[in-house]
Chains A and B, each alone.
Chain A
Amino acid sequence: MPKVTVDGVELEVPAGATVLQACELAGKEIPRFCYHERLSIAGNCRMCLVEVKPGPPKPQASCALPAGEGQEIRTDSEMVKKAREGVMEFLLINHPLDCPICDQGGECDLQDQAMAYGRGATRYEENKRAVTEKYMGPLIKTVMTRCIHCTRCVRFSEEVAGVDEIGALYRGENMQITTYLEHAAKHEMSANVIDLCPVGALTSRPYAFEARPWELKKTLSVDVSDACGSNIRVDSRGREVLRILPRVNDDVNEEWISDKARYQVDGLTRRRLDRVWIRKNGKLAAASWDEAFDAIAKVNAGESIAAVAGDQLDCETMYAAKKLLSAKSSSLLEGRQTGMDYDTSNLAAVNFNSTFAGIELADAILIVGSHVRWEAPLVNVRLRKAVKNGARVFLVGPEWETTFGGEFLGEDLSVLGDLPSHVTDAMKAAERPAIIVGGGAIAKGAIPRALALAEELGVVKEDWNGFNVLHLAAARMGGLMLGFAQKGGLADIVAAKPKVLLSLGADDVDYGQFADSLKVYVGHHGDNGAHAADIILPAAAYTEKAGTYVNTEGRVQFAEKAVFAPGDAREDWTILRALADALDVEVGFDTFEELRAAMIAEVPALGVEGLADYGALPAADKDAKASGAIAYPIKDFYLTNAIARASATMQRCSAELLHGEDLAEAAE
């Protein structure tokens, strides 16, 4: 723990800290462009110069200088001020003065730091350098003349994303950042370079020229495009969500989000259900809320009413539906739309127990039936970190392009019954072994076998539970906590032949099974669910309602409402509350607060932000078997939910990045 003095204040800093970190600990702001906490140190922008004694009598780049015992650091001296002005002047030599037409304006590091640390006026009168634009795909817009060569994007794609595709060509003044031969950046996290870019060189293509940051209302929310529960900030203007940015949460998404989480927003304004529809003579006809409620009441379902929850639901909606059904003495609740019927009596057995931050520390990982890059891009980032720290990864399932190496053991689940000895040896020898069971394996009923394997390989130790189930649906863990599960899965609901089927945004159900039921779709997009519905009640998407979400780790998180739902659409719980009146039953809440209070009273864990405690793993059935070829549930990363399917950006990503279609702009 070296002791250093920053501007006359003595403080102790952790061993291995840099001078920049020491200054930050002392509360001093150090301007920087290339330095980023989550990337390797490059030390090439020189903006973080400080004066350090002992040392050469010149300013030092603090980001790359280790803090040492007895250092005297000055961030406020004349030398430092001049050094910063000098560096800023050089950076601005070739940076265009186009802030008024630059999308980064208002949230630009260079702009802010030029104001804070630069000279008042320019002395430069020569011509500026110009650089041709580079095509980086449908998500990243480039204005490379603005680039200041910090190389954050290069380091991100190499270190975090694990896909070497961005590089710095040529050198000196001619240096240019580009993808290889201007191919589109092809990975699931590519748009994070937009956030990393400290200037306006890489900006968001779908959001180009949409808004200025100071016009936007910022709302804290949680992403529902996968089960990671990434923390996001929803930026909206008026009634429209314009963009989504990641929030920092080291436990969940660090400060990245997947491209789908970021860019499915334009789907929120397309294919929306904004009025009530009733199917008459096979065709949907516009109707009023009263007509719809009357039609539902007229069926006189009694207790023959079931609810199927969609993948993006908040806990409040599910709880409201549960209360409505229990008021009708029905418990036909299910959330696993595709018919999975794994045992949910102990939620620890279907939870990501090691946590995302914990999986980084694992030293041997067995992934069973999970295309992690597509199912949970943020977990993939963690796995890459684990491998960098020396972890060995084994995968069961069809091969996919991992970003962390790993050994594929076979496509069939039967491999689990007879693991090669080097795998079992590695797992048994590991200090923190982990098993990740993904969507492909859950669907084949592999959880009991995985539990047995967990016991055989000893993945549960003191202070370490390496048994992980990686879900795909943002609503899954919340739904299971609220009891949205039948013993036999969806088949039980089908067998019960409900007179009324409440479909709460469930777009993946095979509605052919419910031919005799009155299908009431409460949801926000005109997708598969709405196509099959008899009555459509327009509801709110995740940005349009406050809600509680539980991610695949069992982490309870709260999201706030950013905008109002369009047209006649209402927040889901109010629809269910009104439906209770129509069905003439009492559900016991009239406001959202009452609903939430009732929910927390019933499931206390949902009231506490953070990891829910599910207790220990259940005893494993040693004879459990699993077999069958694994098929990954996600066929197209960019089109996994109703919002993404409605999004023009996601459709374009799918066409161009996954199906290799040449689009007009790509050929420019």
Chain B
Amino acid sequence: MADRHLEPDTPELRARWGGFAFTPEWEAKARAAIARYPEGRQRSAVMALLDFAQRQIGEETSTQGWLPIPVIEYIADYLDMPVIRVLEVATFYTMYNLVPVGKFHVQVCGTTPCMLRGSDDLMDACYKRGMTKGHTTDDGLWTLTEVECMGNCATAPMVQINDDNYEDLTADRLDTVLDALARGEQPKAGTQEPGRHTSEPLGGPTTLKEMVTENHDYRGEW
């Protein structure tokens, strides 16, 4: 997240995105998001709308989408709020891309638990495919970002690609996932550990074993 910056506001950018408007499909979702809040509090929907705009741009460019300055201004205008407030939100959250990204946004978690479980290997696997941090590959397929904790520490290391998490990775397993994506397939999301369903302990519970079969009362044993 260290390298986040805004795409410069150039005449070309204005020419390309100045006419942005929600398509009817996204417009309906935007209206629904605004309707969740009391009248006059439409600003509360800013995060949803920024996401919708990003996704619409993703569809238009068959990438993961991003938020050019004119689009941020469009959202500000849409919600009748100062554009600087929208920009604050857009720059705060890393889920909003401030620069164009590729078809697959590979977000490798590098925080301590993942790092201890081998996220450096995952990074190397990505580098081998020609990805560099904060950049999109020339074929427009991959964008690599190192991110902070995504909350999957029990199944570390993990990578988030687009809207899916891939967990319990090794360099090989990540290669399999990336290959499948490149072929246009949709690999199984979640843990990649054979025999594991979600984040349950491998090889059965090691603590609170009595709780497996009954609602055990531990209080007397403390």
Residues of A within 8 A of B (CB): 164-171, 174, 179-181
Please name all residues of chain B whose beta carbon is closer than 8 Å to the beta carbon of A181 when the two chains form the complex. 9, 69
Q: Which of A164, A170, A174 contacts B84 (CB 8 A)?
A: A164
| A170 with B69, Cβ < 8 A, contacts A164-B82, A164-B84, A164-B85 known | no
Q: How far is the CA of A174 from the CA of B6 in the complex (A)?
A: 13
Contact A167 B2 (CB under 8 A): no
Chain A min CB distance to B28 (Å): 29
Chain B's closest residue to A176 (CB) is B91
The listed residue (B2, B9, B82) touching A174 by CB distance below 8 A is B2
Interface centre among A164, A165, A180 (most CB of B within 10 A): A180
Q: State how many angstroms separate the Cβ of B67 from the closest Cβ of chain A.
A: 13
A167–B91 Cα gap in the complex (Å)?
11
Q: From A164, A165, A171, give the contact of B92 (CB < 8 A).
A: A171
Across-interface contacts of A174 in B (CB, < 8 A): 1-2, 4
The answer to whether B92 and A170 touch across the interface, beta carbons within 8 angstroms, is: yes
Known: A170-B4, A174-B2, A174-B4. A180 touches B91 (CB 8 A): no
Question: Do the beta carbons of B92 and A167 come within 8 Å of each other?
Answer: no
Distance of A164 Cα from B69 Cα, bound (Å): 17
- Residue among A168, A169, A179 with the highest chain B CB neighbour number at 10 A: A169
Query: With A181-B9, A181-B69 in contact, is A167–B84 under 8 Å at CB?
Result: yes
- In the complex, B150 has a CB within 8 A of chain A: no
**CB contacts between A and B, total, < 8 Å:** 30
CB proximity of A343 to chain B, nearest CB, Å: 44
**For A170, what are the chain B residues with a Cβ–Cβ distance below 8 Å?**
4, 91-92
Is B88 on the interface with A (CB-CB < 8 A)? yes
Q: Chain A nearest CB: distance from B95 CB in Å?
A: 13
Please, how many angstroms separate the alpha-carbon atoms of A638 and B134 in the complex?
Answer: 46
Cβ-defined contact, A169 with B9, below 8 A: no
> What distance in Å separates the Cβ of A370 from its nearest Cβ neighbour in chain B?
25
Which residues of B in the span 64-113 have a Cβ within 8 Å of any Cβ on A? 69, 82-85, 87-88, 91-92
Residues of B within 8 A of A165 (CB): 82, 84
Given A164-B82, A169-B91, A174-B1, 11 more pairs with CB closer than 8 A = A164-B85, A165-B82, A167-B85, A168-B88, A169-B6, A169-B88, A170-B4, A170-B92, A174-B2, A174-B4, A181-B69
The 21 sampled A-B contact pairs (Cβ below 8 Å) are: A164-B84, A164-B85, A165-B84, A167-B84, A167-B85, A167-B88, A168-B88, A169-B6, A169-B87, A169-B88, A169-B91, A170-B4, A170-B91, A170-B92, A171-B92, A174-B2, A174-B4, A179-B84, A180-B84, A180-B87, A181-B9
Task: Report the nearest A residue to B92, measured CB to CB.
Answer: A171
Question: How far does the Cβ of A167 sit from chain B's closest Cβ, in whole Å?
Answer: 4
List chain A residues, Cβ under 8 A from B4: 170, 174
**Contact residues in A for B92 (Cβ distance below 8 Å):** 169-171
Chain B residues touching A, majority SS: helix
Give CA–CA (A174, B4) in the complex, Å: 9
Complex: how many Å from CA A169 to CA B84?
9
Q: How large is the interface on B (under 10, 10 to 19, 20 to 34, 35 or more residues)?
A: 10 to 19
- Report the Cα distance A410→B1, complex, angstroms: 52
Q: Are A166 and B84 closer than 8 Å at their CB atoms?
A: yes
Please, which residues of chain B bring their CB within 8 A of the CB of A164? 82, 84-85
Q: Which of B146-176 contact A (CB under 8 A)?
A: none
Cα–Cα, bound, A180→B2 (Å): 21
Q: In the complex, which residues of chain A have a beta carbon less than 8 angstroms from the beta carbon of B82? A: 164-165
Whether A167 lies near B87 (C-beta < 8 A) is yes
Give complex CA distance A179, B83 in Å. Answer: 10
- Name the A residues within 8 Å of B91 (CB-CB): 169-171
Contacts of A167 in B (CB 8 A): 84-85, 87-88
Q: How far is the CA of A179 from the CA of B82 in the complex (A)?
A: 12
Question: B26 CB to closest chain A CB, in angstroms?
Answer: 25
Shortest C-beta distance, A187 to chain B (Å), equals 13
- Alpha-carbon separation in the docked complex, A174 to B91 (Å): 10
Could you tell me the distance in whole angstroms from the C-beta of A162 to the nearest C-beta in chain B? 11
In the bound complex, how far is the Cα of B136 from the Cα of A638, in angstroms?
Answer: 49
User: Smallest distance from the beta carbon of B15 to chain A beta carbons, Å?
Assistant: 17
Tell me, in angstroms, the Cα distance from A165 to B92 when the chains sit together: 17
* Distance between Cα atoms of A164 and B83 in the complex (Å): 8
Q: Is the CB of B83 within 8 A of A180?
A: yes
Chain B residue contacts of A180, Cβ below 8 A: 83-84, 87
> From residue A557, how far is it (CB to closest CB) to chain B in Å?
36
CA distance A169 to B72 in the complex (A): 13
Residues of A within 8 A of B88 (CB): 167-169
Q: Nearest Cβ in chain A — how far from B215, in angstroms?
A: 33
- Inter-chain CA distance A168–B9, complex, in Å, is 18
What distance in Å separates the Cβ of B56 from its nearest Cβ neighbour in chain A? 23
Min Cβ gap A130→B in Å is 13
Q: Which of B1-39 contact A (CB under 8 A)?
A: 1-2, 4, 6, 9
A180, B72: Cα distance in complex, Å: 11
CB-CB nearest in chain A for B93: A171
CA distance A167 to B82 in the complex (A): 10
Q: Given the complex, which residues of A lie within 8 Å of B87, measured CB to CB? A: 167, 169, 180
- Nearest opposing residue in chain B for A167, CB measure: B84
Residues in A neighbouring B69, C-beta threshold 8 A? 181
- Shortest Cβ gap from A367 to chain B (Å): 23
A8 to chain B, nearest CB (A): 41
Task: List A contacts of B6 (CB < 8 A).
Answer: 169
Q: Please name all residues of chain A whose beta carbon is closer than 8 Å to the beta carbon of B1 when the two chains form the complex.
A: 174
The distance in angstroms between the C-alpha atoms of A166 and B82, with both chains bound, is 10
Complex CA gap A339/B4 in Å reads 60
Complex-state Cα separation, A164 to B43, whole angstroms: 14
Closest to B2 in A: A174
Taking the nearest CB of chain A, how far is it from the CB of B138, in angstroms?
28
Chain B hits for A168, CB < 8 A: 88
Nearest chain B CB to A402 CB, angstrom units:
15
